[in-house]
Amino acid sequence: MDRNEQEELKAHLMQTNEQFRAMVDQHHQLDVLVAELEAKHALSPAEEVEEHRLKKLKLQLKDQIEQTVSEYRLQHAAG
């Protein structure tokens, strides 16, 4: 599947799958929070822990998003 097809599939899921949309929205929110921390000149130890935690959550969500796309593609390719 090329990149364009992947983006079209994600756009379709954004319109039709509430859970997928919630995961993408949450991933975006985490991205904003991580960017805010990364923009700081120096992080406190607590902020470093928070940055690590947010990045881990963001990666987990990315994996879930990709899993959802793969499952959808498999279900609809077979049918």
Residue 5 pLDDT class (50, 70, 90 cuts):
confident
Number of domains forming the structure of the chain: 1
pTM for the model stands at 0.87
Domain that holds residue 20: 3-78
pLDDT digits (tens, 9 = 90+) for 41-70: 999 999 999 999 999 999 999 999 999 999
DSSP characters over the chain: --HHHHHHHHHHHHHH-HHHHHHHHHHHHHHHHHHHHHHSSS--HHHHHHHHHHHHHHHHHHHHHHHHHHHHHHHHHH-
